[in-house]
Homo-oligomer: A and B are copies of this chain.
Amino acid sequence: MTASLRVAVLAGGYGGAKLSHGLALIEQRDPPLDLSVVVNTADDLQVHGLCVSPDLDTVMYTLAGLANPDTGWGLRDETWSAAEMLERYGVETWFRLGDRDLATNLLRTDRLRRGDRLTAVTDGLARALGIRARLLPMTDDRVATKVRTDDGWLDFQEYFVHRRHEDTVHELRYEGIAAARPTEEVLDALESADLLLLAPSNPFLSIGPILALPGVVETIVSARARVVAISPIVAGKAVRGPADRIFTSLGGRASAAGVATHYVERYPDLLDALVIDEVDYGDAPAIEALGLRVFPAATVMRSEPDRERLATEILESLGRRG
């Protein structure tokens, strides 16, 4: 029996969820796959007193096969009775929680209030939903992304959900990051991985907070994993969300080469390779000039077979040890 291939994914919301799901869908593989998904929690927030972790839940619901395929967040077959009743009480509900989703948030909040770590709570929820991959919040500490716009500093979900990420982003900070620590489980996943994937999630809003945690980049650089990012920019546009506009407003370029530049300039020695979309093959020389290997693939995942196919291609190109 061969030892398993250990894969760790750094993930935000939907892009990271889909890639992780593609990896989890690869049931039969030699060597077998051992999957850990490290998820951004800097977009967590309190809603009606509940501790809500949008990225964690997007990944969890996606891995459990319960995600709403139309929205990219929340659960399929969701109902909205509680939100309607809250509106009847005159409560502001721009961050609407579905009824099934409320159950997740109720349980998480109750267990956190009893003193459990977010890591343990998440593990309990994920196992109950039949997820075999390790689903790991990046930290048990509180980190909160803030976004500076023309109207000043905004809470992340105020910017992202309430104002539909329409504001121009001039500056970002991850409040609490200096005092936060990656968990032992995260450090262990990073240290023991054969292959570390930076999912096609937003480099500023999703991957950025994970890499900003004290010790994370150093741990990755000194560990043995091959480190590969998947570009979330295809043909100059974000597959989803505001990543392209944020690249531009923060002084970078919304392109596959811009993604490479971003990672190489901010985190020297971190990346070994970048997976870019086939349509961006013209960027390959510029990316290689930065010292990265380039792997072109069909990176846009519109269906479950797309997810499994991309995951398989990445593993076949990059998943060999050594």
Q: Which residues of B contact A88 (CB under 8 A)?
A: 103, 128-129
Contact string against B for A residues 48-84, beta-carbon threshold 8 Å, 1 for contact and 0 otherwise: 1110000000000000000000000001001101111
Chain B CB within 8 A of A154 CB: no
- Provide the A68-106 mask, 1 if CB < 8 A to any CB of B, else 0: 000000010011011111101111000000111111101
Q: A83 contacts which chain B residues (CB < 8 A)?
A: 103
**Copy total for this chain:** 2
**Are A128 and B84 also in contact (CB < 8 A) when A48-B107, A50-B106 are?**
no
Minimal beta-carbon separation of A238 from chain B (angstroms): 31
Given A48-B110, A49-B110, A91-B107, A100 contacting B129 (CB threshold 8 A): no
Interface membership of A29, Cβ < 8 A? no
Which of A83, A110, A113, A129 has the most CB atoms of chain B within a 10 A radius of its CB? A110
Contact residues, A102-136 vs B (CB, 8 A): 102-104, 106-107, 109-110, 113, 125, 128-129
A82–B100 touching, CB < 8 Å:
yes
The DSSP consensus for interface residues of chain A is helix
Structural contact, A49 and B85, CB atoms closer than 8 A: no
Query: Complex Cα distance A85/B86, Å?
Result: 20
Bound form: Cα–Cα A279–B168 in Å:
76
Contacts of A75 on B, CB cut-off 8 Å?
Answer: 85
Q: For residue A87, which residue of chain B has the nearest CB?
A: B103
8 Å CB interface, A231-249 against B? none
- A104: chain B residues within 8 A (beta carbon): 85, 89
Q: Which residue of B lies closest to A77 (CB)?
A: B81
Specify the chain B residue showing the minimal Cβ separation from A89: B128
Instruction: Establish whether residues A82 and B107, one from each chain, have CB atoms under 8 Å apart when the complex forms.
Output: no
CB atoms of A89 and B103 under 8 A apart: yes
Nearest-CB residue, chain B, relative to A103? B85
A107 / chain B contacts, CB cutoff of 8 Å? 48, 86, 89, 91
Asked if A90 and B48 make an inter-chain contact with CB atoms under 8 angstroms apart, the answer reads no
Residue pair A86, B103 in contact (C-beta under 8 Å): yes
CA distance A179 to B83 in the complex (A): 37
Q: Which of B82, B90, B98, B110 contacts A106 (CB 8 A)?
A: B82
CB distance from A298 to the nearest CB of B (A): 34
The answer to whether B125 and A99 have CB atoms under 8 Å apart is no
Query: Which B residues touch A125, using CB under 8 A?
Result: 89
User: 3 closest Cβ contacts across the A-B interface?
Assistant: A49-B110, A85-B103, A81-B99
**5 A–B contacts from the bound complex (CB under 8 Å):** A49-B110, A75-B85, A81-B98, A85-B104, A88-B128
Sample of 18 further A-B pairs with CB below 8 A, known A82-B103, A84-B103, A88-B103: A49-B106, A49-B110, A75-B85, A78-B81, A79-B79, A79-B99, A81-B98, A82-B99, A82-B100, A83-B103, A84-B100, A85-B102, A86-B106, A88-B129, A89-B125, A89-B128, A90-B128, A91-B107
